[in-house]
Structure 1
Amino acid sequence: MKNNKTVFLVLGVILLINAILVNSAYISAGKFPEGLMTAAIAIMSFCMAYLSDHFAAKDERAQKIRERGVFVSYFWMLGIIIVLMALVNPYVGPVHLSAYHLLLLIASLYISVVFVNMVYYARKY
């Protein structure tokens, strides 16, 4: 399992560098950062590097970490969607995003929140 940890760390570093380069180019041009999914996958890769030792054994602890991480992420995402609905309201909202950018933001946040929650519960249990 040590090999998986190294692979995830290397992929995470590559994806993080890619995300920083792509997103900084979009932000410096004054556009919405299109590389959010790359940043989310980099976060997922770093989290999997930490979780690979915990998930190596197919025991009930690993199953509990997975279940709890996904369950709590549902409520986090419900809160994030409510906040985004208030911010992106077309009538009074201060932020104007296209549907594609909004879905990209939600999907990226969901991937990040699920895996960060799994890391939290792996440390807790």
Structure 2
Amino acid sequence: MSRTKKAKESRFIFLISGLFVTGVSTYINFDDVINGRFPDVITIMSFALGINQLLMAYLSPHLFPKDERSKMILGKSMFVNYFVIFGTILLLFILTEFSDINWDAQQVLVVLTSILMLTIPTTMVIYSKII
């Protein structure tokens, strides 16, 4: 199978599954968000996963050809994500210490994981536009 056909097939799968997962998790989270409660762990993670899949649908044609451009996109985005991880951890430390938000450890880890699931493909999208 050629790389373009494989990229189109995976793009379609990412798009359909991303739309489905994002729609379902938005529907489930809607009541909690409207009432000011922290949503369930699984629904936050599924929302981040759905957005991740939508971003991967965009990135599929850029990453499937294993050329210098795709390697450069991956390398630069991973370098930036190293600093995003530490910035996010620092921000979560500050938020949990000095704000009125009372999160337990599980909620902080869910937010951190969801942010990481979103920043990795987001930086890849940014670098795919720049490079």
Shared fold (TM-score, shorter chain, > 0.5): yes
Amino acid in structure 2 at the alignment position of 1:4: S
| CA distance in structure 1 between the partners assigned to 2:76 and 2:24 by the alignment | 31
TM superposition outliers: structure 1 runs of 4+ over 6 Å: none
Q: Does the alignment pair 1:110 with 2:128?
A: no
Alignment deviations for residues 56-87 of structure 1 (CA, whole Å, 9 cap, x no partner): 21112111111111210121222222111111
Q: Which moved more, 1:22-31 or 1:42-51?
A: 22-31
The alignment's TM-score, normalised by the length of structure 2, stands at 0.87
Deviation at 1:25, TM superposition (A): 2.7
| 1:74 equivalent among 82, 85, 93 | 82
| CA distance in structure 1 between the partners assigned to 2:81 and 2:125 by the alignment | 12
Corresponding residue for residue 39 of structure 2: 33
| CA distance in structure 1 between the partners assigned to 2:121 and 2:31 by the alignment | 27
Amino acid in structure 1 at the alignment position of 2:128: A
Deviation at 1:103, TM superposition (A): 0.2
Unpaired runs of at least 5, structure 2? 1-6
RMSD across aligned positions (CA)? 1.3
State, as a whole percentage, how many aligned pairs show the same letter.
29
| CA distance in structure 2 between the partners assigned to 1:32 and 1:13 by the alignment | 23
Unpaired runs of at least 5, structure 1? none
SS of 1:88's partner is helix
Deviation at 1:31, TM superposition (A): 2.4
| CA distance in structure 2 between the partners assigned to 1:13 and 1:27 by the alignment | 20
| CA distance in structure 1 between the partners assigned to 2:77 and 2:46 by the alignment | 21
Deviation at 1:33, TM superposition (A): 1.4
Amino acid in structure 2 at the alignment position of 1:9: L
Deviation at 1:27, TM superposition (A): 2.4
The alignment's TM-score, normalised by the length of structure 1, stands at 0.90
